[in-house]
Amino acid sequence: MAQSDELILLNGRVQPLGGHAPVEAAFVRDGRVVALGTESEIRTLAPGAETLDLEGGTATPGFTDAHVHWTEWAMGRTRVNVALDTMGEALEIVRAAAGNGGGWLVGRGWDTHLWGGFPTAAALDTVVPDRPVLLESRDMHAAWLNSRGLREMGITAATPDPEGGEVVRDPATGEPTGVVLERAREMVMARLPVAGLPEILDALESAQAEAHRLGLTGLHSVEPDGLDHAEALRQEGRLRLRLLQHIPVFKLEEAVGLGLRSGFGGDWIRIGGVKLFLDGTLGSCTAWLREPYEGTSDHGIQTLSAEDFRDAASRAAAGGLALTIHAIGDAAVELALDVLSTTPRPRALPHRIEHVQLCPPDLWERAGRSGVVGSVQPCHLLTDVEPAELHWGYGRSRGAYPFAALQSAGMTLAFGSDAPVESIDPRLSLYAACARPSPPDVGGAWHPEHLMTPAEAVAAFTEGPAAAAGLEHRQGRLLPGYDADFTVWDRDPLVSEPEGIGGIRCRATVVGGRIVFRA
């Protein structure tokens, strides 16, 4: 959209955050906030500037999603979607999609909790017997293949389980059933044909427009090849999101050899930390627990040994790289805190733990003292309450998604979505954090001691991600000198009722002083 280098926001409310009172108007020049004040003051400062009429709405600092699989989410929007209530419905979608071509049929979205267990290759064979099929689970920690897909991947009864992964097998015959978990899932995903760069960039640009429509001005990406894709998009002049890009651990030596450091980059792309996985997920029952899953002797999967974790952390720190650690179960969270609390952090940005889904009370104070950022996704609450009570138990779930407790202990929280595991719509996490809805037959808030206020939740989408990126001096607030990244809502989310905050609507999104979306 063609636009002048000066913009004023009028006819509404501007919430600067950072403890500052709301104001009537703001003036932006060359991508930065210049002044805040009354409408008359701002009109006097910039008589010839373009006007963004807030129409009685409220502008907040731009929202940043602190945990997105950007390429996976973008490409997933173009693939088969099997996020359906029953396996039968999913099979009919797969049958219809299979008639549209040859080669691998790829999709995602199935949920073992909705379906009552893992699906099988035999079920997929009934609708697609001759074409290889691979469907990722909703949580992206499992993959479901048909028999042709298993053959193409070379998976047989003789295939050993990789360390930190599992080929699910028939207990009677030892034959693979069609589902692979964790590192075994990574193994098959790495063998899939790769889309061409033009197709990926088009998908990213389309997904970027959807992010803008929902009020997002930035993303923290955990996509393994995200840096290459984002830089290609930037070079073509198509990148309009602020991006913090994490580095997968398998690229650690390459990154150190190239001299990459956390915090390197420019206005659009910035290097984050080294991403490591310590466990799996609640959805696949592979999160690593201190005590077994309810009614079992299973503790989940520790996907990286403590020794290997400490070694990788030491090498990353020596190379000036922060650590970004996937930890969902309490055993994984405890190990993450043990190592990160004693690993020097780079000056540019802090270490962080992704998810922190089960963090019992005895770890809250340690988490707060650690200086580690909690990158959390409240939207998971909307689908995980019943599985958490089933597999972790109600008592143990007192430590599940303990947002208020972690914040009170001193931990900085950065909200995200984990898209495409969940919708990237930030309103879902705002609602989940402020309402924590129990199952319909129970009612009320689930462990209400962990409820957050709307103002706290908004800060976790703005100030929190800025601190996690080492950019709290120029992002996350709307103050003179800060980046002019705004989200304009139809009403003020900071003073919304908790039950209604999920219904706010984005009217406009501004990135670097440029209007990138207007309803």
- In the chain, domain spans: 1-62+476-519, 64-70+197-475, 104-189
Q: What is the pLDDT of residue 2?
A: 46
Residue 381 parent element (H or E): helix 381-391
Contact 59, 27 (CB under 8 A): no
d(CA 155, CA 134): 13
Contact 221, 242 (CB under 8 A): no
d(CA 286, CA 357): 13
Which residues are registered as beta bridge partners of 219?
65, 243
Residue 37 parent element (H or E): strand 32-37
Backbone angle region of 401, left / alpha / beta, with phi > 0 → left and psi within -120 to 50 → alpha:
left
What does CATH list as the number for 104-189? Answer: 3.10.310.70
In this chain, the answer to whether the domains covering 1-62+476-519 and 104-189 adopt an identical fold is no
One digit per residue, the tens of pLDDT, for the chain of length 519 reads 446 699 999 999 999 999 999 999 999 999 999 999 999 999 999 998 999 999 999 999 999 999 999 999 999 898 999 999 999 999 999 999 998 778 999 999 999 888 989 999 999 999 999 999 999 998 889 999 999 999 999 999 999 999 999 999 999 999 999 999 999 999 999 999 989 999 999 999 999 999 999 999 999 999 988 999 999 999 999 999 999 999 999 999 999 999 999 999 999 999 999 999 999 999 889 999 999 999 999 999 999 999 999 999 999 999 999 999 999 999 999 999 999 999 999 999 999 999 999 999 999 999 999 999 999 999 999 999 999 999 999 999 999 999 999 999 999 999 999 999 999 999 999 999 999 999 877 889 999 999 999 999 999 999 999 999 999 999 999 999 999 999 999 999 999 999 999 999 999 999 999 999 999
Q: What is the pLDDT of residue 3?
A: 64
Contact 240, 247 (CB under 8 A): no
Residue 208 parent element (H or E): helix 197-213
Q: What is the pLDDT of residue 4?
A: 67
- Mean pLDDT, the chain, rounded, equals 96
CA distances for 342 relative to 349, 365, 375, angstroms = 16, 16, 19
* Residue 509: CA count within 13 A, CB half-sphere: 22
Contact 432, 423 (CB under 8 A): no
User: What's the distance, Cα to Cα, between the start and end of the chain in Å?
Assistant: 14
Contact 483, 512 (CB under 8 A): yes
Pick 64-70+197-475's CATH classification: 3.20.20.140, 1.10.3210.10, 3.40.50.720, 3.40.50.1100: 3.20.20.140
Backbone torsions φ then ψ of 10, nearest 5 degrees: -135, 170
DSSP state of 290: S
CA distances for 97 relative to 34, 102, 128, angstroms = 52, 10, 10
Does the domain spanning 1-62+476-519 belong to CATH 2.30.40.10? yes
d(CA 282, CA 301): 11
Task: Render the burial of 468-487: b for 16+ CB within 10 Å, e for the rest.
Answer: bbbbbebbbbbbeebbbbbb
Q: What is the pLDDT of residue 102?
A: 84
Residue 234 parent element (H or E): helix 226-235
